[in-house]
Structure 1
Amino acid sequence: MVVAVALMLILPHRTVPVLMYHGFTEDESATSTLVIALDDFERQMTYLANNHFNIINASELADYLANGKELPPKTIVLTFDDGYKSFFDLAYPVLQKHGFPATAYLFIDGLAKADDLGRAKGMSAKGLVEIGSHGVTHRMLPLLDPEEITWELVSSKQQLEAEFGVPVETFCYPAGAITEGIVKATAAAGYTAAVATAYQRGQFPCGNKYIQRRVLVSPVARYPLVFRVMASGYYVPARELTLKILGVRVPRDLYRKIEQHE
C-alpha cells in the first residue's frame, strides 16, 4: 500500500498504453529482445480480452488526442513494427481471433525484400489492421540530411497509400530516434500523429501527438505481473523517471548532424 501511494505521488498521470511488438516465434528458445514467444503473445491478448480492455489503433488514439475526446476506461493501442513474416503468420491470426484492431508499421524496402506486400495487402483489405509508415529504408532519421528525412517521410506515405489504397495517417520513427526538427517535419509531411519509444523524463514534452511513447513488449513480459504493469498506463512514466534518475538518455552525438541543419 505504501509503495502504491508513493508511486501515485511521484509519477505523472496515467498514459494510454501503446504496446510495441516486433517478431514472434513458436520456439521459446529462439526469443530475443524483439522476438517473443507466440504462447506468451496469446496469453497477453487473452488477458486483455478477459479484462475488457478497449483496443483501438494508433490513428484512433490520435483522433482522441486531437479533439480532446474522453477515452473509454482501459483503452490500449497495439502496434507492430517492421512487417516481420512472423507477424503475418503467427500474431495476426491471434488478433483476428479476438477481433482486436491494431496498427502495423511497414517500411518500403522491408516489404520488397520479404516479398510480403501481397500478404500485407490481404490483411489490410480485411480492415482489422491499419497501415502506418516506418519510412522507406528504416534508417534512423537523425543520421540523415534534411532532404533525405523529407523523402523518407513523404515518399513512404505516398507509396504505401498507392499500394494499399487507404490513408496512411501515422508514422513510426525508426529506433525511436527523433529531434524537434524531425517531429516538425513529420507533421509537415501530412501525418496526423507519430509513435516513438520511451525517453528520459523531460527530454521531450509529453502530450505531443507526434511523440507518442510506447512500451516495448519483450520476452520479460511472459511474467503476468510484468505485462499487467505494461498495460496499466503507468509503465512509461515510471520508466522515463527511472531513466532520468539513472542519467540514461540517447547520446546527443546521434543528433548533432541534423541539428546543424535546423
Structure 2
Amino acid sequence: MQRWLTALLLLTLVTLTALSAEAAKPIIEITDDVPVYDNRTGQLVEVGYLVKGETFTIVEDYGKNWWKIRWDDYYGFVAKNRTAVVNAVTYRNATKRALVQQQLTALQDSKVMDNQTEPGVLRPFAIIKQGQKYASMRKMGNWYGVEMNGRLGFIHASNVEVTTPAKPPVAKPTNKTGYTTAYTEVVDFRRDKPASVMYLYANTPIQYVDDPGDAHFNTHVKVKWGDAFVYVSRKAIKEQNVAPTRFTTRSPNGKFIIPYNSQRNHIYTNESGKLVAYAHLNTNQRFPLIRTEGKWYVTVIAGREGYIHESHAALDRGVPVLMYHHVLPERDLGFFKHKSTTVTSEQFAAEMAYLKSQNYETVTLTDFRRYLKREITLPANALVLTFDDGLLSTREYAYPVLKKYNFKAAQFLITARNDSANPAQVFSPTVLQTLSWQDVNRMGDVFSFEGHTHNLHNIIGSTSQVLMVSNNQLATDLQNNITRLPKGPRAFAYPFGQFNATTVQLVKNAGFDLAFTTREGYNSPYENPYYIKRVSSNQSVTLEQYKRMVRPY
C-alpha cells in the first residue's frame, strides 16, 4: 500500500492519457470500504472513504493503481484494488453541482446518506472524515445536501459545524475609452441566443466598460446601447485616451428607428465637417433615437452619435400583439361567417406561413415583459400572438400550425369554463366549446395560459359584467382566475376590452403583471404594462393587409 501511495504522489507531476476524449468514463463498484485521499499539499491526506457495494462514475483512470474522483471542489484518489469495473451505476441520486450555500466541517466521521436509490430508505454511500470540510448546496430540515462525485447526499446537521463562506470581493467596473482595431461585431447577449446588433469599423473611438463581475468579462467589453449594454470582443479593442468631445452625453428620447436597406444601412459621424461611416447596422434591430436633424435620424452606440438618412431607416411603431379568438374552416363557418372574432383556418394558416417565410419571431410573454421593462431589446421582426377565451377550436386548427412552425402564443382562459369542460368532448364547429384542463396541459409546448376572469366573461346589454359587479366580487373572481393558472408571472385580458381605473387596480392587486386591451396599436418599452394594445385579424383582412399590420414601421 505504501508503494502505491508513493506512486500516486509521483503521478501528480505527470499528465496521463489513460482515456481518449471520446471514451466513456469507467464505472466502479466498491468491493471494500476504500479511503479517499487528497494530495493537493504534496502529502496524502485521508479525507473520507467510499462505502462497500456503492457505484461511482470515475473522472479519470489515473495510472495502474488509482482512480480519480471529484471530492468537494477538488479531486480525490481511491485505490483500484478495492474496486471492480462494472457496466452501469446502481444509484438513482445523480445530481449536478450547484452554488455553494454553506461550508460544513465534520465534527466526527460523518455519513453521507442516499435517500433516493431505495425509496424510503436512508443508506450511507460515503463518509467524510472528522475535521474535513465539504460544501453544502442546500439545507432541508435537519439535513444538509451535498454533491459528491455526481451523486446527491445528505449529512445530518448534528454531525457538522456550519459556516457561510464570505463572498470574494468583486472588482468594480471601470469606464474606459479606446479604438477598435478591426471590423468587429457588436453582440447582444441578453436573450437565450446572442444577437448581432451591428459591426463597427476599424479605428472607431468608443467608450466601454471593463466589468470583472460580468459573465463575458474574459472575452468581451461592454458598450452602452440606449438603456442597455451590449458587447464587443476584447481582442478588437485597444485602450487609449480619447477626447471627451468625441462622445455625446445625450440620452435616447424613448423612440427607436429600424434600418430597412441592408445595402445602405451605415451610420455616420460628422465631427470633421463631413460624413464618415463608422458602423454597419443590422436591419433586424431597434436602435435608440436621440433626435432628428432635418432628414437624418441620430442614434448612439458606445458613446458615439451616428447619423442615418431617413430613406434608409424608419421610425419604429412598436411591437405588434396579434389578437385571435375562434378558428374554423371556411366550409364550417355557418353562424360564425363575418363574425369579427372568427378567422378561417385557411386564412390563419396563410398568415402563419407568411410570418415563417419572413423570419418573424413569435416572442413569449416572458420576453415581452422584459422588453416592456427595458431589460432586453426585441428584434424588429418580433411579435406576440394571443388567443382570447380558450376555445377548443384553437386546439383543432391553431395549435397544429403553431407547433409546425415552432411558434409561441398566449391563451387567455375563462377558468370556470375550463373547470366544467369535458375532457372527452368531441369538437363541433356549430357551437363555442372550451378547452379542458387536459387540453391545456397537452398544449403547453406552444401556449402559455393567462387570465380572462374566472366567471365574469359576460356582456349585459353592451356592458361587460366586469364593470357591473362590486369591487369585492371582481377581486374574488380575479383571485379564483389566477390561482387556477400555472404558477409564475401571469397576464390578463380585459373581457370585451372594457375596463376602468378600478378594474386596472384590482387586476394588479390580484397578481397579474400585464393586461391586454382591445385598443388598436403597437407597444413600446415606455408604455404602461396594464394598457397593452393589440391588432386583430378577421375574415375581412386580406393577406396584403395582414403584411402591413405586422410590420414594425
Question: TM-score, normalized by length of structure 2?
Answer: 0.37
Is 1:229 equivalent to 2:542 in the alignment?
Answer: no
Q: Partners of 1:208 and 1:171 in 2: how far apart?
A: 14
Correspondences of 1:120-159 after superposition (within 5 Å): 120-124=440-444, 127-137=445-455, 138-139=457-458, 140=464, 141-159=466-484
Aligned 8 A contact 1:19 1:216 in 2: yes
Structure with max Cα Rg: 2
Deviations 1:210-248 (A, max 9, x none): 110111221122x112111221246xxxxxxxxxxxxxx
Aligned 8 A contact 1:59 1:193 in 2: no
RMSD of the TM alignment (CA)? 2.5
Is 1:73 equivalent to 2:393 in the alignment?
Answer: no
Q: 1:196 maps to what in 2? A: 517
Q: Partners of 1:121 and 1:180 in 2: how far apart?
A: 34
Q: Structure 1 197/19 Cα, relative in aligned 2: closer, same or farther at 3 Å?
A: same
Q: 1:23 maps to what in 2? A: 326
Unpaired segments ≥5 residues, structure 1: 1-7, 201-205, 235-262
Match of residue 171, structure 1, among 483, 492, 495: 492
Unpaired segments ≥5 residues, structure 2: 1-309, 423-435, 459-463
The CA deviation at 1:110 is: 2.1
Q: Secondary structure at the match of 1:225?
A: helix
Aligned 8 A contact 2:380 2:552 in 1: no
Q: Structure 1 154/45 Cα, relative in aligned 2: closer, same or farther at 3 Å?
A: same
Q: Partners of 1:51 and 1:199 in 2: how far apart?
A: 23
Aligned 8 A contact 1:22 1:81 in 2: yes
Q: Structure 1 153/64 Cα, relative in aligned 2: closer, same or farther at 3 Å?
A: same
Deviations 1:119-164 (A, max 9, x none): 112112xx32111111101243222210112122221001223xxx
Deviations 1:31-89 (A, max 9, x none): 32111110100000011011111211233212211244221111100001111111011
Runs of 4+ in structure 1 displaced over 2 angstroms?
57-60, 112-115
My pick for the range that moved more, 171-180 or 57-66, is 57-66
Letter in 2 for 1:189: A
Q: Structure 1 142/47 Cα, relative in aligned 2: closer, same or farther at 3 Å?
A: same
What is the number of residues matched between the two proteins? 215
The CA deviation at 1:28 is: 4.6
Q: 1:214 maps to what in 2? A: 534
Match of residue 185, structure 1, among 506, 519, 534: 506
Identity across the alignment (%): 25
Deviations 1:189-226 (A, max 9, x none): 211211111169xxxxx8111110111221122x1121
Q: Structure 1 29/90 Cα, relative in aligned 2: closer, same or farther at 3 Å?
A: closer
Q: Partners of 2:350 and 2:513 in 1: how far apart?
A: 32
Q: Secondary structure at the match of 2:407?
A: coil
Q: Partners of 1:185 and 1:212 in 2: how far apart?
A: 16
The CA deviation at 1:29 is: 6.3
**Larger RCO: Structure 1 or Structure 2 (Cα < 8 Å, ≥ 6 residues apart)?**
1
Correspondences of 1:26-65 after superposition (within 5 Å): 26-28=329-331, 30=333, 31=337, 32-65=339-372
Q: Structure 1 67/153 Cα, relative in aligned 2: closer, same or farther at 3 Å?
A: farther
Correspondences of 1:106-117 after superposition (within 5 Å): 106-115=413-422, 116-117=436-437
Q: 1:95 maps to what in 2? A: 402
Letter in 2 for 1:52: N
Aligned 8 A contact 1:54 1:73 in 2: no
Letter in 1 for 2:535: V
Aligned 8 A contact 1:57 1:79 in 2: no
Aligned 8 A contact 1:55 1:75 in 2: yes
Q: Structure 1 80/199 Cα, relative in aligned 2: closer, same or farther at 3 Å?
A: closer
Q: 1:119 maps to what in 2? A: 439
Q: Partners of 2:354 and 2:362 in 1: how far apart?
A: 12
Aligned 8 A contact 2:518 2:533 in 1: yes
Q: 2:10 maps to what in 1? A: none
Q: Partners of 1:197 and 1:17 in 2: how far apart?
A: 12
The CA deviation at 1:113 is: 4.0
The CA deviation at 1:13 is: 5.2
The CA deviation at 1:168 is: 5.0
Q: Partners of 1:14 and 1:113 in 2: how far apart?
A: 41
Question: TM-score, normalized by length of structure 1?
Answer: 0.75
